[in-house]
């Protein structure tokens, strides 16, 4: 009973994680922009971006924790 519930929670957290990553704004020009604009790479994030970062980290931790629990076979 608990394994299907955790499997669904794992799949849903994966979908939310994908959506949250896609919602992030682009940070720069990619690898080519590292040499030209080093100081702008470390600018502070706005409140919305900070909240989005926290939500992304929370879903990442949830996703990885459920992945470890489900793959380890601890719940039989």
**Chain segment 21-62, per-residue pLDDT in tens:** 999 988 766 666 656 555 555 556 688 899 999 999 999 999
Confidence of residue 13 (pLDDT cuts 50, 70, 90): very high
Q: How far is CA 56 from CA 6, 26, 35, 37, 61, in A?
A: 19, 15, 28, 26, 9
Query: Does some domain include residue 63?
Result: yes
Residue 40 lies in a domain: no
The pLDDT value recorded for residue 75 is: 86
Taking the model in full, what pTM does it have? 0.75
Look at the chain and report how many structural domains it folds into. Answer: 1
Instruction: Output b/e per residue, 20-32; b: 16+ Cβ within 10 A.
Output: beeeeeeeeeeee
16 domain residue, yes or no: yes
Parent domain of 15: 1-22+46-76
Who has greater pLDDT, 74 or 43? 74
């Amino acid at each position: 009973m608990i394994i299907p519930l955790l499997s669904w929670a794992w799949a849903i957290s994966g979908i939310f994680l994908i959506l949250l990553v896609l919602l992030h704004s682009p940070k720069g020009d990619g690898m080519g922009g590292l040499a030209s604009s080093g100081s702008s790479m470390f600018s502070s994030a706005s409140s919305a971006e900070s909240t989005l970062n926290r939500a992304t980290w929370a879903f990442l931790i949830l996703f990885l924790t459920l992945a470890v629990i489900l793959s380890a076979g601890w719940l039989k």
